[in-house]
Structures are given as structure tokens and as C-alpha cells.
Amino acid sequence: MTLKRSRNFTTIVPLLFLAFLVALLSILSYENSFLSGLPTKSSDNKRSTDKVASFIFSDGLKSQFTNAKPILDKYGFKATFDVICNNVDKKDGYMNWKDIKTLSNEGHDIGSHSMSHVRLTDLSKKSLEYEVGKSKKCLDNYGLKPSSFEYPFSTGSDNKTIVDVVAKHYEFATRGNDPLMFLGCDGMKQYGQKDCKTYTDNGTPTYSNKYSIRNWSHDFEKKENSYSDLQALERFIEVVNSQSTYNKNGTIDAIPIIMYHGIGDSKRDSDTDLDLFQKEMKYIHDNKFNVITISDLAYNEKHDYLYIKDLESETQLPEENVTTPTEVPTINATTNVTNVTTPTEVPTINATTNVTNVTTPTEVPTINATTNVTNVTTPTEVPTINATTNVTNVTTPTEVPTINATTNVTSPLVSGERNHTLEIVKKVLGIP
């Protein structure tokens, strides 16, 4: 009996070695063909992590809906639309509530621009509460949840009474006019700020804070400097790229927040030509800027700085065409698989000819089978088996790799006869 087991062992060992060589060659061949068949990872569908832009459309003008929105839609951009409540559905040239709700439903940000667009610095406290607080309630009544307020005429952010009322109703407030907003509020050394605290030590509002987020009135600057459309485009490109001095390796310290009024509306002085607007949006898209809204900002109360919420998950496009798989592909068995016991860890076996009298080792490559696989003893950790026909008596493991074999793999039944293949193997291995 001992002699027979010894002969069985000397018979099995070379065959196991042969099976391992076959499996190894199969794995290398499969890996090479599988990976070479995958396209390379594309950088075309990934936004830059260092370039960000945000757009504010002020006043709630009709041309923003009819002219700007289709271009924003074309490039998948979302923007912040600041609405003057008393003008909605009541004044010619302004959006109606259906337009505004459509913008909101499609993912745009709706902010408040007061009830009637008056200078807040000229108002009593009661009138101030009406313009600031009532405008939020106005939007709330239509199912809109504004998180930001835009100061009419960009005035009032330096007045503590006004800032206190704004802070009571909104998370953020915006005003002009600076090309960049520094999220740490420390980029303008002339104002002596090191963080975004709302008030200085003596109680006066700071220049830049979450209730004084600085935007850049692109159309106002164009008018003030009598720029041609070409000059305005060049200035736009200069401003949006100026952030590169401050943003490095995915850390965003400064962003341009560009404000528009009328788009393609020649009746207004603060109008941006439609062709110019289209070129500007194309530039942002082609140069892979991340586009955010004001509600995408958040504030760190402990350290007093602004930051962009979920920048990577929200603004990076889905990655496709990944060159390397993270897991071994699932196994597909298209015929009968019977009496399979799981192993400890099994790399893939790809056999193209008959392999008989095999006893499984502690660690065996994964099996790939498209025909009959019987009586195979497998190790402890195996990825999942996906079989499209009869699968019987399968002992499921914690994790089972896929089995794919192209011919018969017979179980380790030891025969007393030495076939021609065994004799060759033994001679190769030097076994008597």
C-alpha cells in the first residue's frame, strides 16, 4: 500500500508540474491578449482639477433663459441665476416662474437678488428685512431654496447691519468686482486678511468673506473700457487662467466667478453679444474647466475658509477605457460543471488538451472551462462561478474565480498504467 502511494505520488508530481506550466502559459497569453485589446485611458473625458469657473446671471432676464441656457445645456454647464422677485412674471424682459422652475429642475442654482433691486444702504431696517428676507420667502413659496443673495449694485457688504440681515437668511452672498475670489480670503494682501472671518476684531465687516464673495462683472468691464468683442474675449481668457498662479496639484485656492446680465439682448447696455458668449463657453469647455455654482461652495467654520464641495465626484466626467482591470474577469462555464470543491487560492488554468490524473495542490491557477469539468478538488479562495447551464453539487467558497476550460479535465484518479505522456514527462524531469 505504501509502495502504491509512493508510485502515485511520483506519477502525480510531474503531471502537476506540467499542468502548472500549461496554466502559466495560458495566463500570460490571456493577459497579453486581453490587455492589448483594451483601448488606452482617455484624457479627453476628464476635467482639470486645477481650473474652476463659476457663472452668475444677474437680474433674472429673459435673454438668459432663451439665449444663454441653450449654450450652457450644450456643454453641460450649470450656473447661478439671481432673481429679482417683484420683476418675475410682471416686467417685460424678465423670466416668468415657469422659466425659473425649469432652470431649478434642470440643476441650475437659483439665488435671490432682492425684492425690487434697490440700494440696501438707503433703506431702513424694516425695508432692509423686506428686500433681503422677504425675497427668500418669495422664492421658498415657489419651491425654490436659495442659498445665496446678490447685493443690488454691489453695495452693502461693508455695512454690519446689512450683513447681519443677510447672514440671518442666507448661507452666502455675492458682490462685484474682482477677477478672482480667494477661497481662503487671503489673496488680497492690501486688505490684511488671513482668513474668511466675517468681521474684524473691531466688529466691522471684512472685505472678503462668505457674505462678500467677490464676482467679476465681465460685461460691466467690457462697457467701461469700450472693449471690442475680440478684446473682451482676450480679457476673459486672461481672467479665467489667472487662477493657475494659485491652484496647484488639485488644491483650489482661487476661482473666477463671472457675472453676466443680458445675453444677446441689444436693448441693454450691460449686454454680452451672443457670439462672444458662445466663444467664451466653448473656451471653458475645450480647456476642461470644472464649472460650479455658488451652492457648490461650503464653509469651514472651524478654520474660516471656503471650499468646493465634492469637486472630484461632481465635476469629473465618468472615466472609461481603463487599461488595467482590478479584478480577474468573471468565469463563464457554458456546459456541465459537477462536484467542484473550493480551494485556498486558485490562479487560472487554461487547458487545451486532455489532462488526467491530476491532484490539486495548495495553490493552483484558476480554471477556465467550456466543457465537462468533473471531480476537481479546488482550494480555499475562489472567485465567483458563472455558469449558463447545469451546475450541480457545487460547494461555494468565500470567493470563487471563474472556471473556463476548453477540454476535458479529469479528476485525480490514479491509474496503475503508465501512458506514453507520463513516460515522456518522467524522462524530461529525470524521474526513473
At residue 354 the predicted structure's pLDDT band, cuts being 50, 70 and 90, is: very low
Residue 5 pLDDT exceeds 80 = no
Is the pLDDT reported for residue 82 higher than 90?
A: yes
pLDDT at 231 over 50: yes
Q: Are residue 117 and residue 90 in the same domain, yes or no?
A: yes
pLDDT band, very low/low/confident/very high, at 86 (cuts 50, 70, 90):
very high
pTM: 0.64
Q: What is the mean pLDDT of residues 274-289?
A: 98
* Residue 39 vs residue 47, higher pLDDT: 47
Quick check: helix, strand or coil at residue 199? strand
- Cα 291–Cα 297–Cα 302 angle in degrees, nearest 5: 150
- Let me know whether 294 and 336 are in one domain: no
Give 263's strand partners. Answer: 272
Pick from 83-87, 249-253, 346-350, 369-373 the range whose average pLDDT is largest. Answer: 83-87
- Please determine, for residue 87, whether its predicted confidence score (pLDDT) is greater than 80: yes
Task: Give the pLDDT confidence score for residue 430 in this predicted structure.
Answer: 62
Query: Would you say residue 380 has pLDDT above 50?
Result: no
Looking at residue 22, its pLDDT comes to: 59
Q: Is the pLDDT of residue 220 over 60?
A: yes
- Give the integer Cα–Cα distance in Å for 377 and 339: 8
What confidence tier does 19 reach under pLDDT thresholds 50, 70, 90? low
* Domain end among 298, 315, 332: 315
Report the range of poorest mean pLDDT among 37-51, 72-86, 403-417: 403-417
Residue 195 has pLDDT above 60, yes or no: yes
> Is residue 43 situated within a structural domain?
no
Residues 108-135 pLDDT 10s = 999 999 999 999 999 999 999 999 999 9
User: What is the rounded CA–CA span in Å between residue 96 and residue 99?
Assistant: 5
Are 290 and 255 contained in the same domain? yes
Asked if residue 390 is part of any domain, the answer here is: yes
Q: Which domain holds residue 230?
A: 52-315
Buried b (16+ CB within 10 A) or exposed e, 396-412: ebeebbbbbbeeebeeb
Last residue of a domain, one of 257, 290, 315: 315
Task: Please report which helix (H) or strand (E) contains residue 357, including its range.
Answer: none
Residue 227, pLDDT > 80, answer yes
**Using 50, 70 and 90 to split pLDDT, how confident is the model at 367?**
very low
- pLDDT-derived band at 8 (thresholds 50, 70, 90) equals low
Task: Flag the least confident range among 13-27, 37-51, 242-256, 345-359.
Answer: 345-359
* pLDDT mean across residues, the chain: 76
Q: Angle of helix 229-241 relative to helix 274-286, nearest 10 degrees?
A: 30
> Residue 341: pLDDT above 60?
no
Exposed, middle or buried: residue 86 (CB in 10 Å: 0-12, 13-18, 19+)? middle
Give yes or no: residues 418 and 276 share one domain. Answer: no
Tens digit of each residue's pLDDT (9 = 90 or more) over 151-194: 999 999 999 999 999 999 999 999 999 999 999 999 877 888 99
Burial environment of residue 30 by CB neighbours within 10 A (0 to 12, 13 to 18, 19 or more): middle
Specify whether 265 is located in the same domain as 391: no
C-alpha cell of 264? 444677446
Supply the pLDDT for residue 26: 58
Do 337 and 216 share a structural domain? no
Q: Is residue 376 part of a domain?
A: yes
Pair 346, 201 in one domain: no
Is 355 found in the same domain as 210? Answer: no
pLDDT score of 332 more than 60 = no
Q: Give the number of other CB atoms < 10 A from CB of residue 183.
A: 25
Q: Are residues 339 and 300 in the same domain?
A: no
Indicate if 225 and 163 belong to the same structural domain.
Answer: yes
Q: State whether 74 and 31 are in the same domain.
A: no
CATH classification at residue 227: 3.20.20.370
Give the span between the Cα atoms of 167 and 123, in whole angstroms: 17
Number of domains in the chain: 2
